Amino acid sequence: MLLGAMFGIAIGIILGLTGAGGGILAIPALVIGLGWTMTQSTPVALFAVSAAAAVGAVDGLRKGLVRYRAAVLMALLGAVFSPLGVYVAHSLPNAVLISLFSGVMVIVAIRMARQASDNSPKHAGDEQPWQHKNCMLNPQTGRLRWTLKCSTTLAVVGSVSGLLTGMLGVGGGFLIVPAFQQLSDIKMHGIVATSLMAIALISASAVTGALFAGAHITATGGMFIAASVVGMLLGRILSPRVPAKVIQLGFCAVCVVVASYLMLKTWM
């Protein structure tokens, strides 16, 4: 149980820092650290991510950082598609699920590494015009412009996040955060806070589906979940003090190493 608590704290801190990494690293922590299968790990990881993300989302709401309407829209579509992901997960062998999960980790690492390199200082003439962004803030109100393009973008992101959440137990932030960075002009701290709210809601729906499918939470899993909430609180405290580029590059390195280890352990 002590090992589960240590992993839980680490996952919570990463989730608090990135708004993306906690979900995608929770499964490897349980599979590698505790020797569980993917189907055993998924409900515990989702429960931990949902609880920790809810704490972070409340903090973000208190600070006025959460774009709550965007988060709710993504969560609603995610809740629709997450049961399909749970069904697919229970239909596939453990080795196939781990391979898919490892592939997702590598894709996430590549995307975040590219975005970290794009965070270098830019000249005024290098900025993209606002028409190239799907979701833009209204400079007068500070709120999102709810155009058809923006609504469709958020719906697609939420649907795919829900499917992968139910299938791989990854929370969804790994997709939501890069999508917001690429398709909106919201600042990073607002992106993370909005992502945490969406993750909390999507993961909660996926947990419900997994429990109805016969999953259960052990004592060690309960310790992992509680510790992840503590880690989230620490991560939210550290987040403003750590440069975004450092967080992104460090997260990329961890993803590549963990994905490689999972593949070697599964197939060698």
- Residue 31 is given by DSSP the state I
Q: Average per-residue pLDDT in the chain? A: 82
Question: Looking at residue 49, what is its pLDDT?
Answer: 81
At 123, is the pLDDT very low, low, confident or very high (cuts 50, 70, 90)?
very low
Q: Residue 41: enclosing H or E segment and its boundaries?
A: helix 38-62
The count of other CB atoms within 10 Å of the CB of residue 84 is 15
What is the per-residue pLDDT for 26? 83
Mean pLDDT of 81-102: 86
159 or 19, which is more confident? 159
Lowest mean pLDDT of 42-46, 124-128, 170-174, 183-187, name the range: 124-128
**Domain boundaries defined on the chain:** 2-119+132-267
* Tens-digit pLDDT profile for residues 74-91: 999 988 898 888 788 888
Q: Own/partner pairs for 152-155, CB < 8 Å, 24+ apart?
A: 153/179, 153/183, 154/70, 154/73, 154/74, 155/73, 155/74, 155/77
Query: Which region holds residue 19: left if phi is over 0, alpha if psi is between -120 and 50, else beta?
Result: left
Q: Is residue 26 within 8 Å of 48, Cβ to Cβ?
A: yes
* pLDDT tens readout for residues 228-266: 889 888 887 887 788 878 877 887 888 888 889 888 888
Question: pLDDT category, 171, cuts 50, 70, 90?
Answer: low
* Count of residues in the chain: 268
Q: Is 268 helix (H, G, I), strand (E, B) or coil?
A: coil
pLDDT at 23: 65
In 94-172, which residue ranges form alpha helices assigned H by DSSP? 94-118, 148-168
The stretch 151-170 carries a mean pLDDT of: 86
